[in-house]
Amino acid sequence: MTKPIDTDGILRRMRQLYAAKNDSELALALGLSISAVSNWRQRNSPPFAICAHIACKNDISLDWLIFDIGTMKLGVPAKVQKDARHPGADVSVQRISEFVTWWSIHRSRDELIWLEQQIRRAVPEYGEWLVCPSDTEG
């Protein structure tokens, strides 16, 4: 079973990054209305696009911001974690799989198609794998 995205944790890490004492201060730091942050929390719907923007703007690890994995700052070495169920697999494989599963459950069909298009653009090997997945199995 996949673990749900922790919106409260994401907002807590955002507040940590911006030294905001509460959601109102976070909204102010992000240039948003106070209700925006409140809505994210109430709907348990983290703002992934804003998270990506924050990560890029501040050289922050998106893994840390969204999943609380690794270190906050990019370039700081973190211990590689292993998945106990699949000892040879890096935890990032599990994380990606869980996120895609979470996305497919909580997002519309159109958004799932959009995500797959983004993956195809960013990872050309994915498109090649779709054509002949058995060739990539080792």
CATH number for 51: 1.10.260.40
**Within a domain: 34:** yes
**Within a domain: 45:** yes
CB atoms within 10 A of CB 124: 9
Q: What are phi and psi of 132, to 5 degrees?
A: -150, 75
**Within a domain: 93:** no
**Within a domain: 40:** yes
| Parallel/antiparallel/unpaired status of strands 86-90 and 82-83 | antiparallel
Q: What are phi and psi of 78, to 5 degrees?
A: -125, 155
Taking 50 as the pLDDT cut, the residues of the chain under it are 1, 78, 80, 83, 135-138
Q: Which domain holds residue 43?
A: 1-73
**Within a domain: 95:** no
CA distance 72 to 60: 6
Strand partners, 73: 60
**Cβ atoms of 15 and 25 closer than 8 Å:** yes
Please name which of 101, 100, 79, 80 lies closest in space to residue 92, comparing C-alpha atoms: 80
Number of structural domains, the chain? 1
**Within a domain: 41:** yes
CA distance 107 to 115: 10
User: What pLDDT is recorded for position 115?
Assistant: 85
User: What pLDDT is recorded for position 80?
Assistant: 47
Q: What are phi and psi of 4, to 5 degrees?
A: -70, 155
**Pair of tokens at residue 105:** 């459950």
Please name which of 64, 84, 90, 56 lies closest in space to residue 12, comparing C-alpha atoms: 64
**Pair of tokens at residue 43:** 């709907």
In this prediction the pTM is 0.55
**What are 103-117's pLDDT values in tens digits?**
777 778 888 888 888
